[in-house]
Chain A
Amino acid sequence: MIDRAHVGFTTAPSTVTVDAFRVRLFCRATGETDAAYVDEAAARAVGHPRCPVPTTYLKVLENEHFNAASVLQHLGVPLRGVLHGEQSFDVRTPVRVGDEVEIERRIVDIADKKNGALTVITLDTRFRLRGADAATSRQTIVVRNTLAAT
């Protein structure tokens, strides 16, 4: 049983710099071949001042800030038996290579499903650029309690 008192837990904001090499490695790992993410001239040719990051790269930035393993450690839940349930991103302002992104994560819900066989943890993340909201994400982590207990 995860203590519901953790709902509302918010990380101390930290700033993560978007690193060109890491974006290149991410593109390599995900089969991404669009040069706009890694080559500034290619990015400018399609109207970007600097290379944007792929949408799901926001997850890399939030992992750098406080990843799911840290969340689970905070909650005292073993990583074993845990699955990723849902993931969403809403982007207002594109994040680009070289940006300094201020990130904060919050546990917004902890709920039992299927008569307690599963516990679903919902986390929201705020990404801010130059003091303004740029993007948000939401993740659910599914804890399979039978596996977590063994």
Chain B
Amino acid sequence: MRVWPDELVLDAGPITAVELALFAAASGDHNPLHLDESVARAAGFERPIVHGMLTMAHVSRLVAGRFGAARVRTLETRFTGVLLRGDGLRVEGTLVEVERDGCACYRLRAAATSDGHEIAVGLARIAPTPAA
């Protein structure tokens, strides 16, 4: 009988210009919105914004870091807010249910460290054992 934790939490950041540049290189997302001050301002943001996929990578670490690699069956996020460069993230997971096949469902939420505004919400399904 496996016991699933009710709550998970992970803090990340503050996310710096260097980290955004590293992520752009690693991910292949070179959109200047994440790197260039003037492009960010033209798009209506005070500073360059953090890649949604970098936020999602931290959301993924919340569950994969706890349960291990290759147990995440489903990971879904909806990006509901914008995280500006220099801000950090708090990612939280709440156990919703354990399904008949033994997978656990966690509701996920990422919020800005600065003022708590919501950045993303989502869901993860975690397998009881790593997939073959």
Q: State the A residues within 8 Å of B (CB).
A: 22, 25-26, 28-32, 34, 36-37, 43, 46-48, 52, 54-56, 59-60, 63-64, 67-69, 79-94, 147
Indicate whether A56 sits within 8 Å of B56 (C-beta atoms), given known contacts A34-B65, A89-B74.
Answer: yes
Decide: B77 and A88 in contact? CB cutoff 8 A.
Answer: yes
B29 CB → nearest A CB, Å: 6
A60→B74 CA distance, assembly (Å): 17
Decide: A80 and B78 in contact? CB cutoff 8 A.
Answer: no
Decide: A60 and B26 in contact? CB cutoff 8 A.
Answer: yes
A88 CB → nearest B CB, Å: 4
A70 CB → nearest B CB, Å: 11
Decide: B70 and A48 in contact? CB cutoff 8 A.
Answer: yes
A37 CB → nearest B CB, Å: 6
Asked if B22 is at the interface (CB within 8 A of a chain A CB), the reply is yes
Decide: A86 and B78 in contact? CB cutoff 8 A.
Answer: yes
The residues in B between 45 and 80 inclusive whose CB is less than 8 angstroms from any CB of A are 51-54, 56-58, 60-61, 64-65, 68-70, 72-79
Decide: A83 and B79 in contact? CB cutoff 8 A.
Answer: yes
Asked if B12 is at the interface (CB within 8 A of a chain A CB), the reply is yes
Indicate whether A92 sits within 8 Å of B130 (C-beta atoms), given known contacts A48-B69, A63-B28, A84-B53.
Answer: no
A107 CB → nearest B CB, Å: 19
- Please name all residues of chain A whose beta carbon is closer than 8 Å to the beta carbon of B26 when the two chains form the complex: 22, 25-26, 28-30, 60
Asked if B1 is at the interface (CB within 8 A of a chain A CB), the reply is no
- Please name all residues of chain B whose beta carbon is closer than 8 Å to the beta carbon of A26 when the two chains form the complex: 26-27, 57
Decide: B22 and A55 in contact? CB cutoff 8 A.
Answer: no
Decide: B52 and A29 in contact? CB cutoff 8 A.
Answer: no
- Please name all residues of chain A whose beta carbon is closer than 8 Å to the beta carbon of B61 when the two chains form the complex: 30-32, 54
- Please name all residues of chain A whose beta carbon is closer than 8 Å to the beta carbon of B58 when the two chains form the complex: 30-31
B24 CB → nearest A CB, Å: 9
A45 CB → nearest B CB, Å: 11
B56 CB → nearest A CB, Å: 5
A87: which of B44, B52, B130 is its contact (CB, 8 Å)?
A: B52
- Please name all residues of chain B whose beta carbon is closer than 8 Å to the beta carbon of A25 when the two chains form the complex: 22, 25-26
- Please name all residues of chain B whose beta carbon is closer than 8 Å to the beta carbon of A28 when the two chains form the complex: 22, 26
Give A88's nearest chain B residue, CB to CB.
Answer: B76
A9 CB → nearest B CB, Å: 21
Decide: A36 and B69 in contact? CB cutoff 8 A.
Answer: yes
Among A25, A82, A88, A92, the one with the most B-chain Cβ atoms within 10 Å of its Cβ is A88
